[in-house]
Amino acid sequence: MAYKHLIFDFGNVLFDLDLPRIEQELRRLSGPDFEAAREKLQRDRVFELYETGGLSTAEFVDALRFAGPVPISAADITAAWNSIFIEMPRRRFELLLQLRQRYQVFLLSNINELHERWIADYMQREHGIHDFEHRYFDAVYYSHLIRLRKPDREIYEYVLADAEILPEESLFIDDLEVNVEAARKLGIHAELKQAEEPLEMLLSRLLVL
């Protein structure tokens, strides 16, 4: 298939994450109150609301701080929330620039303001990059800014319309099967990024590099 457009998820596709780490840290901070606090946060849809801009960062942090009977400091909550990040290897920056010579390249991520801030700081601190989103992508779609999230159909429709691209000419790569399946329902070619397969190897099977 001769693709014209590539759409990448961020976490565990471009940027390596330790997904269980947030829960481990919150469990450590909350102690025996963790399960009840988590149920309350899920019932109130706190994480979903924060990912779609329905809560400010201050409101989100306070929701986690006061979810249990013993308040947790804002600094500890923020550190726990950002503990998920590992690294983005330098070779992936080079890969993105290589891809942009042949394709339009987009970023589509369920994300939030705290993580967006952390990533911007990381890019400057570790790689000296001050313009990550503009240098490596034709456009960036963050859930908390466009107020839509994967796997809802509307977020894929939004990207296709805003970028003015056709689904049949587009390849989407995500690490969650539910997001891949949702994209396929709109006619987007979508592939699951398996943890054991390097991104470079996956792309070499699918693209002309």
Global pTM reads 0.94
Q: Please report where in the chains the tokens 């329905």 appear, as a residue.
A: 54
pLDDT of residue 1: 63
Q: What whole-number distance in Å separates Cα of residue 150 and Cα of residue 109?
A: 8
Contact 61, 77 (CB under 8 A): yes
Annotated domain spans of the chain: 5-16+88-206, 21-84
pLDDT of residue 114: 98
CATH number of 5-16+88-206: 3.40.50.1000
Concatenated DSSP letters for 43-106? HTTHHHHHHTTSS-HHHHHHHHHTSSSS---HHHHHHHHGGGEEE--HHHHHHHHHHHTTSEEE
Tens digit of pLDDT for each residue in 108-119?
Answer: 999 999 999 999
pLDDT of residue 208: 63
Residue 120 in tokens: 């911007």
Highest CATH level, class, for 21-84? mainly alpha
